[in-house]
């Protein structure tokens, strides 16, 4: 069986690099891939508005539609602004590239940190919200939300490791089903109310919503503050809008045009669904409360509050039960799959940051399926830790939300204003100037909107938002440190402008570490002699005097010409004496290079590594930090390794099957070493460098 069979089953066969063009997305697939987060936000954003307003009781609920209208206006303004972004910066850097080019690297890092925090929160919030909606329809899952959420994140990670196109195709049906379900629910509710004249009371409409203690008569500044807080909560509907500008390279050509069209499609559908849900919430009389036991009079202590969307769909489809279960199913599914937006945006951003040396370079590498696998895995781990830390409670996680995305919104829009202003200084064509001025006006309006929202969010949510802000600061400092490290290494490794012989060592002093004269040691000696160093000697550590004396006798009897050096070790320690000896050689001849040859066993099973090569690993780890020291491992294949290799050859395509003539038996490893004398069998001892 091929060793990579489990990997192939999980993520599929590896794709060639020249197949990258086949993974690009048409608009019909790009919409569910990049817009599922923004579309799914309408499932919980109206609920957040109702929950915030519930603090003041029933008297404040009627403000929900006005707040919804303002949120919709902000969303349209932001989408219009990002349509300018995708045309001006189609390379996929999105807000990070816009801020870096127009405000400098520090501003770009601020945006990058904000987006990374937002992406992690997107996975956590979307997953836990989806699970909460499923629990509303399937009460048997109540109490297992954390486990279910973690399992869902792992499944999403696996799907995305298979590649962007495959994950997009898998998520297209649920996304479109959610759009059909919600828009169909709004249309059916419109029909029942205005055409058939039927009432559609929600299950909580018969309860009386009271204000929380101490907030029964909010007035003046307190009411304004509450409305602003409700508005900031509703702005969760805008999360995910920036994902398309970050994913422009994944679109088919013409990339910018297709991305801009997808943005417009997403905004149109999202606004219709968002306002439709708010209208149905008022029509059905949904009552949402942060503390249902105290605020919902008549509900009773055993009442379990369902999500707002679940109550609305249950009321609208009261005479058509399959409709309720369809909406509940696709809502839970789309909320979970909305995390896919982050799984597509975070790895691309991580790759760009890694290319700019702000993150480890491994994040810039594509995996077998041409996806940025390391970024996908890193995002999943961060989201799982967040879900566990907050007990999979979407209401607590949402409080951390929005800050990061609106920081990036503001930096992006201000950067675009500088971009258009810079181009206008040199542009002379009147038609082109009018286009640029129109684009700058759109970005200016977007900046005013997003700046107002950010101020409101910081004022009303600072009690929770500080966690997200702290995470952004930590990421910013970390990325600056990584860049300094890479820059320092680059400067250190840059070849100096001097003659080549200055960089070369004057001599090479070779050392072969020997514990006994077994086959691995003889192979290491033979290999070291072939390297033709200036000086060559064997070195052993005197841990047991009797063993050392036996080794000396056998060395003389075999007539080995390489001198044997014995290092004393009164405390029976191996690594220290070897390190000290190498250090003394370097001190006596600083221009010399010391080449250390270490015999090692090659085993056939992972658990055999625990029994061998431990001393060698410790020595190599310590010698790597010694300047002017080269370490060479000389492998000796044990029989278990040979059997493992034969098993792989037997299971490979084209191998000899039962009943077919067999090939001659392979030559044993000992024939590859030819030295004076006969080989002796190996016996395990504690000072064996292969142990």
Quick one: average pLDDT of 306-322?
90
290's tokens: 């942060």
pLDDT digits (tens, 9 = 90+) for 279-309: 999 899 888 877 776 777 776 666 778 888 8
How far, in Å, CA of 285 to CA of 205, rounded?
A: 5
The phi-psi region of residue 182 (left if phi > 0; otherwise alpha if psi is between -120 and 50; otherwise beta) is alpha
| pLDDT tens per residue across span 429-459 | 999 999 999 999 999 998 998 898 888 888 8
Cα gap 342→338, rounded to integer Å: 8
- Is residue 413 scored above 60 in pLDDT? yes
Distance CA 489, CA 496 (A): 14
In order of their start, the domains of the chain are 24-487 (1.20.1740.10), 501-656+663-672 (3.40.50)
* Structure confidence at residue 348 as a pLDDT band (50, 70, 90): confident
The predicted structure's pLDDT at residue 454: 87
Can you give the pLDDT at residue 213? 60
Mean pLDDT to the nearest integer, 502-510: 73
Which range, 110-114, 214-218, 251-255, has the best average confidence (pLDDT)?
Answer: 110-114
Per-residue pLDDT at 95 exceeds 60:
yes
Do 637 and 624 touch, CB atoms closer than 8 A?
no
628-680 residue pLDDT tens: 898 988 888 877 666 666 666 555 554 444 444 444 443 333 333 333 333 33
Is the model more confident about 497 or about 602?
Answer: 602
Phi-psi label, residue 589: left if phi above 0, alpha if psi -120 to 50, beta otherwise: beta
DSSP for 217-272, written as a single string: T--THHHHHHHHHHHHHHGGGGTTTTHHHHTGGGBPSSHHHHHHHHHHHHHHHHHH
pLDDT over 70 (residue 493): no
Rounded (10°) angle between helices 255-284 and 164-190:
40
Of 17-31, 145-159, 503-517, the poorest mean pLDDT is in 17-31
Residue of 473 and 616 predicted with greater confidence: 473
- What's the pLDDT tens digit per position in 526-549? 999 998 888 999 999 988 888 899
CA-nearest of 71, 419, 6, 534 to 275 is: 71
The confidence band for 685, taking pLDDT boundaries of 50, 70 and 90, is very low
Q: Do the Cβ atoms of 259 and 251 come closer than 8 Å?
A: yes
**Confidence class of residue 491 from pLDDT cuts 50, 70 and 90?**
confident
**What is the tens place of the pLDDT at every residue in 158-206?**
877 775 444 556 668 888 999 999 999 999 999 999 999 998 998 888 7
Measure the CA–CA gap between 173 and 171, rounded to whole angstroms.
6
Half-sphere exposure of 637 (CA within 13 A, CB side): 16
- pLDDT band of residue 612 (cuts 50, 70, 90) is low
> Of residues 98 and 12, which shows the higher confidence score?
98
Q: What percent of the chain has pLDDT over 70?
A: 80
Burial 365-380 (b: 16+ CB within 10 A, else e): ebbbbbbbbbbbebbb
Residue 363 in 3-state DSSP? helix
> Which region, left, alpha or beta, applies to residue 577 given φ > 0 means left and ψ of -120 to 50 means alpha?
alpha
């Amino acid at each position: 069986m091929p060793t990579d069979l489990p990997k192939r089953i999980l993520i599929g066969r590896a794709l060639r690099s020249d197949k990258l063009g086949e993974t690009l997305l048409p608009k019909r697939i790009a919409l569910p891939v990049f817009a599922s987060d923004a579309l799914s936000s309408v499932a919980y954003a109206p609920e957040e508005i109702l929950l915030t307003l519930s603090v003041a009781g029933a008297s404040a609920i009627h403000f929900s539609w006005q707040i919804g209208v303002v949120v919709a206006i902000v969303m349209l303004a932001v989408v219009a602004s990002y349509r300018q972004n995708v045309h001006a910066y189609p390379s996929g850097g999105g807000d990070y590239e816009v801020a870096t080019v127009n405000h400098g690297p520090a501003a770009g890092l601020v945006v990058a940190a904000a987006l990374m925090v937002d992406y992690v929160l997107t996975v956590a919030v979307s997953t836990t919200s989806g699970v909460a909606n499923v629990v509303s329809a399937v009460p048997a899952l109540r109490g297992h939300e954390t486990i279910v959420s973690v399992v869902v994140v792992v499944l999403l990670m696996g799907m995305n490791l298979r590649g962007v196109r495959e994950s997009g195709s898998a998520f297209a049906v649920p996304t479109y089903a959610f759009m059909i379900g919600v828009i169909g629910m709004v249309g059916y509710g419109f029909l029942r109310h205005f055409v058939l004249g039927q009432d559609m009371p929600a299950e909580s409409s018969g309860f009386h919503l009271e204000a929380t203690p101490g907030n029964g008569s909010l007035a003046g500044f307190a009411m304004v503050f509450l409305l602003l807080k409700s508005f900031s909560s509703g702005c969760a509907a805008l999360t995910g809008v920036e994902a398309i500008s970050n994913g422009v390279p994944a679109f088919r050509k013409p990339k910018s045009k297709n991305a801009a069209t997808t943005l417009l499609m997403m905004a149109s559908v999202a606004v219709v669904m968002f306002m439709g849900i708010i209208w149905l919430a008022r029509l059905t009389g949904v009552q949402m409360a942060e503390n249902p036991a105290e605020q919902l009079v008549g509900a009773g202590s055993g009442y379990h509050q369902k999500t707002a969307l679940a109550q609305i769909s249950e009321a609208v489809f009261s005479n058509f039960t399959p409709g309720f279960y369809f909406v509940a199913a696709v809502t839970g599914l789309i909320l979970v799959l909305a995390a896919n937006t982050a799984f597509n945006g975070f790895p691309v951003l991580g790759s760009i940051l890694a290319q700019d040396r702000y993150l480890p370079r491994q994040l810039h590498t594509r995996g077998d399926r041409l996806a940025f696998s390391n970024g996908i895995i890193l995002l999943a781990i961060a989201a799982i830790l967040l879900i566990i830390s907050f007990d999979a409670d979407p209401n607590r996680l949402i409080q951390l939300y929005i800050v990061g995305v609106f920081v990036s919104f503001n930096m992006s829009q201000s950067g675009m204003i500088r971009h258009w202003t810079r181009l206008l200084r040199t542009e002379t064509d009147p038609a082109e100037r009018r286009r640029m001025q129109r684009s700058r006006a759109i970005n200016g309006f977007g900046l005013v909107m997003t700046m107002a929202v950010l101020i409101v969010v910081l004022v009303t949510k600072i009690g929770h938002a500080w966690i997200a802000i702290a995470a952004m600061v930590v990421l910013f400092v970390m990325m600056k440190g990584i860049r300094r490290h890479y820059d320092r290494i680059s400067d250190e490794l840059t070849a100096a402008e001097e003659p080549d012989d200055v960089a070369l060592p004057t001599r090479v002093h070779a050392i072969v570490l020997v514990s006994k004269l077994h086959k691995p040691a003889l192979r290491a000696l033979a290999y070291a002699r072939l390297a033709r160093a200036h000086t060559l000697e064997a070195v052993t550590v005197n841990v047991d005097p009797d063993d050392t004396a036996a080794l000396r006798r056998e060395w003389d009897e075999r007539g080995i010409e390489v001198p044997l050096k014995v290092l004393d070790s009164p405390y029976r320690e191996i690594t220290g004496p070897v390190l000290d000896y190498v250090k003394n050689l370097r001190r006596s001849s600083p221009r010399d290079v010391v080449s250390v040859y270490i015999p090692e066993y090659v085993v056939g099973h992972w658990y055999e590594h625990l029994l061998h090569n431990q001393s060698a690993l410790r020595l190599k780890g310590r010698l790597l930090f010694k300047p002017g020291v080269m370490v060479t491992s000389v492998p000796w294949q044990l029989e278990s390794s040979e059997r493992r290799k034969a098993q792989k050859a037997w299971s490979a395509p084209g191998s000899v099957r039962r009943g077919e003539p067999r090939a001659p038996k392979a030559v044993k490893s000992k024939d590859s070493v030819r030295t004076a004398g006969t080989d002796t069998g190996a016996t395990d001892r504690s000072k064996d460098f292969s142990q």
